[in-house]
Chain A
Amino acid sequence: MASRGTAQRPNGTQGKICQFKLVLLGESAVGKSSLVLRFVKGQFHEYQESTIGAAFLTQTVCLEETTVKFEIWDTAGQERYHSLAPMYYRGAQAAIVVYDITNQDTFTRATTWVKELQRQASPSIVIALAGNKADLGNKRVVEYEEAQAYAEENGLLFMETSAKTAMNVNDIFLAIAKKLPKNEQTGNAGTSGQGRRLVESEGQKPTSGNCCK
């Protein structure tokens, strides 16, 4: 179950807390910001403003053994903002690539994002593919099977989601949380901004995340 806010366990001795940097990518208006808003605040805005540059939010989810704190970067979708994207996905441990099931082009765009991540991002990155706006089933053009087959081929987590109805929104974040490695390297979770090294160079091994105690 996802918890609201940035609730942390009242006393640090219960389980460990891990921080992970997660980035959302995908064509604009597929619902990236809406997914984050639903996940973090449980809300849905019909007139969600477009994202320029990027936005940052955090949310904590509790697994059985551990508490996972996501540091979420929600990016601008327009192709032109592409040049900014590496700044956000660099050093990320997880990514959700979003498309809109009612628009084929957004799916194509999602596949190019996946390729870019596989080439450029950290090799251990956990990638999830989200087919959003699943509430618009009657306008569907991207078939579930097609996307699922693609996801399997590429080793991605896959779910169809709806930020509007909340379907699978918590679940997809939870599935990512479960898949993320939580045992490497002990760090101190208290220090904030572990996932922040946005401008570090390619070669540098990210020290971020995986900072459990």
Chain B
Amino acid sequence: MSPALLENEERCFGGMTFFAQSHPAELCGSNGLPLTPNSITILGKSQFLKTINHPNLCSYLDIIRSKHERTIVVAEYCGKPLASLENLSVDKVIRIAYQCLVGLKYMNKFGLVHSHLSPENILIDKNGTVKLFNFGLYYMTDHGKNVSFPIGYPKYTAPEIFLSSGMRSVKVDSWSLGMIIAECLLGCTLWPGYKLSQSLRKVLSLVHTENSIFERISRENNCFNIYEDLPEDVRAFVNDCLQIYPSQRKTPETLLELPIFQEFLKKDDQDRENSLYENVIQRKMDELYYLWQLAGGDMTIELKRQGLIRSRPPILTIPNLVILLGQMFGRRDIAGLLDLRVVKVSLELLSQRLSHIPYVANYPRLSNHTYAQEPNDLTDTASQLPLIIRERDTEYQFYRIVLFNRLLQIYPITKDAIKREAHKDIPPPVRGAIWAALLGVSGDIQTKYDMIDKETPTHTDRQIEVDIPRCHQYSELLSSGAGHERLQRLLKAWVRDNPHYVYWQGLDSLTAPFLFLNFNNEARAFACLSAFIPKYLHKFFLKDNSAIIQEYLSKFSQIITFHDPQLANHLKSITFVPELFAIPWFLTMFSHVFPIHKILHLWDKLLLGDSSFPLFVGLAILKQLRDFLLASGFNECILLFSDLPEIDIELCVKDSMSMYQKTPSSITYRKHQYDQSKAANWNEPEVGTEKIPRISVEDLIYLVENSPDKVLVVDLRNNIQYERGAIAGSINIPFTSVQLAQDRITSLGPQATPLSENKDRIVVVIGPNDQNSALFAEFLIGCQVFGVCSLQGGIYALRSKASNLLLPARKEKGFF
């Protein structure tokens, strides 16, 4: 029996909280609208931190925005703070210093400055591994600009920070580390019991030190004897950190070049090499955090439970004094704005929930032919449940995530397996990657994206600028400054990369879901958008797209007629044409009409279909509003669409899927669609002239041969021709016998009974010529017959392609 999944898990979640600076209430942006709250700016900016993963840094897991500009940060937490360790040997201290430097060097590579180092947020686990906690506070607050508290512990703060207000360089961290290490080495607390202002004065007094600051500190704290006993290279290291002038101080990277660290570096290289051959899977922290939340974990509640968030009666939060000019006094205590405490939450809750899952579940079986096999039938049973339930089931999500991650690892050879699995559902944490896979994104997308010019001003800039602040702004991510910048870059890149296309309003909405899912991976968002548009919106973004839109909308009308003749007739009678309401639907693939969380579920399925799928989504929406529409006139209908009521998206997806699957693909054929593989011999008349769709001979043959019970063929030729050869089981209604002015099926005589009773069969009208077929098909629509289409090319096409289907009629046929 293998061990349980999360046995011996030392890692925890750490939560901490602070307040962003709130804007004065009366302040407006230059557009007269309220400023973006700083907590949102922080939320947007801090997303990037989630991408920083390094063994010596605690990964960021979540940034939560709460009431009154409160920000809650959730990050990995591992082991104990340096502050809690005593009597560390010099060797141990140097090992710790080394790992801190490796972590700092790594974050410096991304331009990140810690600026908040202290013995409280240097964590050391059982194995002696060091991880820096909350290393991104300075970054996420835009160098402290979005908060009103100072960042950094006065005692460990580099003197230049007190002397100038500019941007802090990576060297401030060298200083802080120097002070922290000095404290450790000397084995005492420097300046114990000093007040903030005293510490500050103390640091500034160091500016006038002539010789070694380390030495001076040790003398001042009565530990000169310890200092004297330290090895020379140790003292040299601390002295290199504690240089007053930043120009003389080393960066973390150059500190690592000191001889004292060379042994460690060598050993690390060796370890890395060895670990290549180990195959131990440790579930990633972000994944565990996601599952923990599903299992009921909630950091806000944990912070409340441990007293870091206290709800105060609102009366206590209002200012004591407000003068008429708008200034306020006695509001909130600045000191309370940053809480230095960290709440540690173990994985217990999650490990209990997953306790019966064995460790081997980390390796889902993928049999050959890359066919994905479920580890047990739990997931199969579960996949019958409604999507929202599956999405909240911890165990189910665990299996799904493991499986998809495995498939993604070896993508693109698993493309088909991914597609098959995606038919069931897509776990939210891997959605961005899965969508990319479904869209066939692969290769070096980053380089491609980097090479596109996103800076040069263009004519479209103004339009993009005014659209972005109106695009899905209820989403905290998309309304943040970081969200705006990214969306702008993506849109500019797309316009630049598609010179044959132009920016149409709506492209912003269309891009938003991709950005939302790939907030930290613009290149992937871009690659998805670039693959999505040709597939679903081929030519929609042409400067003159009227022919394309017109064709799409008239296809939509045909599809309504095909699936719901009663509704089609009603809409026609009140001249309620799709041009009035459906342009934003299709141009944006519904991303302009639904909120993001609904779009995600809708597109999960859309991505499995082709460019005709949206037609059925449109139809499924109409279906939900059907009763209202049928009972309403023009004004009521159009009002309904201007302010679209709540749509049940899961039902909508289900309906679209089933109608999509029931409809032969030629029914939705468009001249402007991307896939023209079946285009030969398709000569539909002018767009909009036929109200009823056509079906191809191939699709008819397929239906007749494979599911004859799904089709009802109506043959319009005269009796003699019909009896000479017709499709078995077809109904003969000679065109000349039809009174088109009628609107009742019974006027056709008894052989037409199957038509009036038809619920779900496809009615294919075959005429001697297209014109008559169309007229007759329209007649059937008038009689509200379901599923009517006419055969492209009529009887001649059928004869030339499948004369074997045309059998002489048996005696009893055609007689009545």
Q: Which of A's residues lie within 8 Å of B, judged by CB?
A: 28-29, 46-58, 71, 76-78, 80-81, 83-84, 87, 133, 135-136, 139, 164, 192-193, 196-199
Q: A193: which of B32, B546, B635 is its contact (CB, 8 Å)?
A: B635
User: Which size bracket describes the interface of B in this complex?
Assistant: 35 or more
Assess the A192–B505 pair: CB atoms within 8 A: no
User: Is the Cβ of B580 less than 8 Å from the Cβ of A46?
Assistant: no
Q: Which of B471, B638, B639 contacts A50 (CB 8 A)?
A: B471
For A51, the chain B residues whose CB sits under 8 A away are 505
Q: Across the interface, do B505 and A76 meet the contact criterion of CB distance under 8 Å? A: yes
Task: Tell me the complex Cα distance, A54–B582, Å.
Answer: 10
Q: Are A56 and B505 in contact (CB under 8 A)?
A: no
**14 intermolecular pairs with C-beta atoms under 8 Å apart:** A28-B466, A29-B470, A52-B509, A53-B583, A56-B639, A58-B639, A80-B543, A83-B546, A87-B579, A133-B32, A164-B33, A192-B634, A196-B635, A197-B575
Q: Is the CB of A136 within 8 A of B634?
A: no
Most B-side CB within 10 Å, residue of A49, A54, A164: A49
Q: Which residues of B contact A136 (CB under 8 A)?
A: 31-32
A50 engages B504 (CB within 8 Å): no
User: What are the interface flags for B219-242 relative to A under an 8 Å C-beta threshold, 1 for contact and 0 otherwise?
Assistant: 000000000000000000000000
Give the residues in chain B near A53, CB-CB below 8 Å. Answer: 579-581, 583-584
Is the pair A52, B583 in contact by a Cβ cutoff of 8 Å? yes
Interface residues of B in 259-282 (CB under 8 A from A): none
**CB pair B467 A57 closer than 8 Å:** no
**Which residues does chain A contribute within 8 Å of B504, judged by CB atoms?**
78, 80-81
Q: Which residues of B have CB within 8 Å of A198?
A: 575, 577, 580
Q: B469 within 8 Å of A by Cβ?
A: yes
B505, closest chain A residue (CB): A78
Main secondary structure on A side of the interface with B = loop
B636 interface residue per 8 A CB criterion? yes
| Nearest CB in chain B: distance from A197 CB, A | 7
A133 to B587, CA, bound (A): 30
B642 touches A56 (CB 8 A): yes
- Within 8 Å CB of A47, what residues of B? 469-470, 473-474, 479
How many pairs of A and B residues are in contact by the CB < 8 Å rule?
A: 97
Interface positions, chain B 186-230, Cβ under 8 Å from A, are none
Residues of A within 8 A of B33 (CB): 46, 164
Check A164/B635 contact, CB under 8 A, given A47-B473, A78-B505.
no
Indicate whether B574 reaches chain A with its CB closer than 8 angstroms. yes
B30 within 8 A of A: yes
* Cα A76 to Cα B33 with chains together (Å): 22
What residues of A have a CB within 8 angstroms of the CB of B543 in the complex? 80
Which B residues are in CB contact (< 8 Å) with A49? 470-471, 592
In contact, B633 and A193 (Cβ under 8 angstroms): yes
Chain B residue nearest to A162 (CB atoms) is B32
Contacts of B479 in A (CB 8 A): 47
- Report whether B506 and A52 are in contact in the complex, using a CB–CB cutoff of 8 Å: yes
Q: How far is the CA of A138 from the CA of B471 in the complex (A)?
A: 27
> Looking across the interface, which residue of chain B has its beta carbon closest to that of A52?
B584
Report the bound CA distance from A49 to B33 in whole Å: 15
A84 CA / B582 CA spacing, docked (Å): 13
Q: Are A164's CB and B505's CB within 8 A?
A: no
Name the distance in Å between B681's Cβ and chain A's nearest Cβ. Answer: 32
Measured CB to CB, the closest approach of chain A to B475, in angstroms, equals 10
| B450-487 at interface with A (beta carbon < 8 Å) | 463, 466-467, 469-471, 473-474, 479
On whether the beta carbons of A46 and B592 are closer than 8 Å, the reply is no
Give the CA-CA distance A93 to B467 in the complex, in Å: 30
Chain A proximity of B572: nearest CB distance (Å): 12
**Contact between chains at A55 and B31 (CB < 8 Å):** no
Specify the chain A residue showing the minimal Cβ separation from B469: A47
A137 CB, min distance to chain B CBs, angstroms: 10
Tell me the smallest distance from the CB of A124 to a CB of chain B, in Å.
Answer: 23
**C-alpha gap A53/B643 in the complex (Å):** 14
A48's closest neighbor in chain B, by CB?
A: B470
Contacts of B30 on A, CB cut-off 8 Å?
Answer: 139
Most buried by B among A29, A56, A135, A198: A56
